[in-house]
Chain A
């Protein structure tokens, strides 16, 4: 029962002490979410976006 708690505690410590890595991930996710054109373009392709805009 202790092993998974130790494992998650280590992950938790990594998130805290290695915060710059997690911040990097969070910032990238945030920029992708704020600029949703990246998502739309990946799914529909550029042509369909232009078609819709027209």
Chain B
């Protein structure tokens, strides 16, 4: 039973999706099933994590085909941690969705698709086969595309076109890279690839293949210069969807980068330098982008890009301290970013706008809520002893040890910029006096359209 434990997070999400499809019209049932299912998923993920922690890496061979021939699922500490974080974020978003997503959206299969997305994420974290990783990525793209367009508002469709185009491009590059890799080695098993790639003499071809993977996963992780789809699409869907996107979707790209560049393409100074350059430019562009935005969700979107830079920098430095910093940052970032987009949704619900210029007076009206909002915001800055502080320290130490002063400088610059951006958001949304806004025309005013037409 415990050997199959690796598959339980996948099977549970698949089971939930199917059950939820049978309750297509029963929205209240869907809400309950989704929350209870997510709660069970957290339990299963904790079980998996503690089992891996005690007993080490576990594998399951699909169809009992011995590796490297069959598809395998591998749960090591890294993938078990990611599955646990997905479960925690999934539970929070599931219950947030129940309260915040309107019934009109829920009627079109919101919850089944949401659990398909979680299935795709768990699959990507647990697979040990590079082509199977591509398949899970496709499941993620299909589910996220449905979620991002659900509701069919103009801004959503505009954002989803950018999202879909760039992600399909990433998939094409990913598939090309897999084809080249298969041509070089004749294998798709990641562990087998690690051995076979190391034995190839034509290092130029190996480096080109690695760069194809870097571009494909770079688009998904939203690194410089492949990030522009993210701020244009993440501010358009409902905040619950943006929360799971902001918390987990870019992180699956980061996971893939870490997995591939620590297992298959290792000990290559050229690749490490490329990754470091990309990381530094991502830190700069994300931080500066966040600084000039006035839409609160766009600010958070640029901060996602900026903070992806920290994780990529740790990967580029490639020391134990740096990778530990990256993993710590990944854990902190998934929780904080999910929470921040939910905060954005709550602020929109209260004030009816996302514009920083028009917001204000939140502390005067909701002092306890403001204190709650302070936790993810100040964690993001890394104010000690909050969660963002520790991984940044690890990355700075790793940068000093590797004598990569420019990387250390970029990390400190991005931290300072994050502080300025968060201070700006805090001052404008929480401290500043409330601005009286004109009454917003909502759907409930649509019944007055007939009267307006008559007046013509």
B122 contacts across to A, CB distance below 8 A: none
Q: Find out whether the CB atom of B263 lies under 8 angstroms from the CB atom of A36.
A: yes
Q: Find out whether the CB atom of A7 lies under 8 angstroms from the CB atom of B92.
A: yes
Q: Kindly name the residue among B81, B195, B321, B376 whose own CB sees the greatest number of chain A CB atoms within 10 A.
A: B195
A36 contacts across to B, CB distance below 8 A: 194, 262-263, 266
Size range of the chain B interface in the assembly = 35 or more
B191 contacts across to A, CB distance below 8 A: 39-40, 42-44
Q: Find out whether the CB atom of B327 lies under 8 angstroms from the CB atom of A25.
A: yes
Among residues 1 to 28 in chain A, which have CB atoms less than 8 Å away from a CB atom of chain B? 1-9, 11-13, 15-17, 19, 22-23, 25-28
Partner of B345, one of A1, A11, A40: A1
Partner of B96, one of A1, A12, A22: A1
B390 contacts across to A, CB distance below 8 A: 16, 19, 22-23
Q: Find out whether the CB atom of B262 lies under 8 angstroms from the CB atom of A33.
A: yes
A42 contacts across to B, CB distance below 8 A: 56-59, 74, 76, 191
Q: Find out whether the CB atom of B266 lies under 8 angstroms from the CB atom of A8.
A: no
Partner of B385, one of A4, A19, A52: A19
A11 contacts across to B, CB distance below 8 A: 88, 335
CB closest residue in chain B, given A40:
B191
* A residues apposed to B, CB below 8 Å: 1-9, 11-13, 15-17, 19, 22-23, 25-34, 36, 38-40, 42-44, 49, 52
* B residues apposed to A, CB below 8 Å: 56-59, 67-68, 72, 74, 76-78, 81, 88-89, 91-93, 95-96, 99-100, 128, 189-192, 194-196, 199, 258, 262-263, 266, 318-321, 323-328, 331-332, 335-336, 338-339, 342-343, 345-346, 349, 369, 372, 375-376, 379, 385-391, 394
